[in-house]
Chain A
């Protein structure tokens, strides 16, 4: 079983739609969680951190459920520019052993 698992998609949604991605992790030593965004043939870039209390940044909301060991990302009012691969990331205590999920592909169409 992979330490961080994501639905690979692709998710095909129209502009303006709300879309949600989930990610599960198996290592209880995972302490910190992030969502990174990766455009085609580009490097990953941090989208947002994920906290148990929830984290909202504009149209993006991230949530962590430690009891169930899953992380979610909600995108509201999708834009064409949101089309990308979204990578779920878990980091162990102390900043060691960064584990990336395989990513979820999102296509937003006009």
Chain B
């Protein structure tokens, strides 16, 4: 079974530039998550989708971050404009459904460096 796919794996940009990340979840998984993991910290949930609807985006900095999940499958996360403090690994995860007991499967992440 194919896992969660993410691209690109690495990205280096200058501050104030824009960047976009792409995620393809495991086939059949209705729930998709985007996390930000800063070095030395645990993953921080940015946004959670159930199919193509947002169920939690309370920690998404909406002035610069946006995410969409068209057709309830693939998802993109965009940062515009980027700041130095956005340097982190952006992890995408998926689970079969939104439930307290469903395992989340993570992709390899996109490592973003903002100069």
Contact = CB atoms under 8 A, between A and B. Distances in A.
Interface string B82-115: 0000000001000101111111101111000000
Interface of A: 4, 31-32, 34, 42-46, 49, 87, 91-103
Contacts of B61: none
A98 B56 CA distance: 10
Contact of B56 (A42, A46, A93, A96): A96
19 contacts: A34-B103, A43-B91, A43-B108, A44-B43, A87-B42, A91-B100, A92-B100, A94-B98, A94-B99, A94-B100, A95-B31, A97-B56, A97-B58, A98-B33, A99-B45, A100-B35, A100-B42, A100-B45, A102-B42
Contacts of A34: 103
B31 A43 contact: no
B100 A102 contact: no
Interface size class on chain B is 20 to 34
B56 to A, nearest CB: 5
Those 6 A-B pairs whose CB atoms lie nearest each other, nearest first: A100-B42, A43-B106, A32-B100, A95-B98, A95-B99, A102-B42
Interface string B42-70: 11110010000001101000000000000
A14 B99 CA distance: 38
Contacts of B40: 102
B62 to A, nearest CB: 17
Contacts of B43: 44, 87, 100
A93 B55 CA distance: 13
Contacts of B98: 94-96
A32 B42 contact: no
A43 B45 CA distance: 14
A70 B108 CA distance: 29
A97 B109 CA distance: 20
A94 B48 CA distance: 13
Contact of B100 (A42, A87, A93, A103): A93
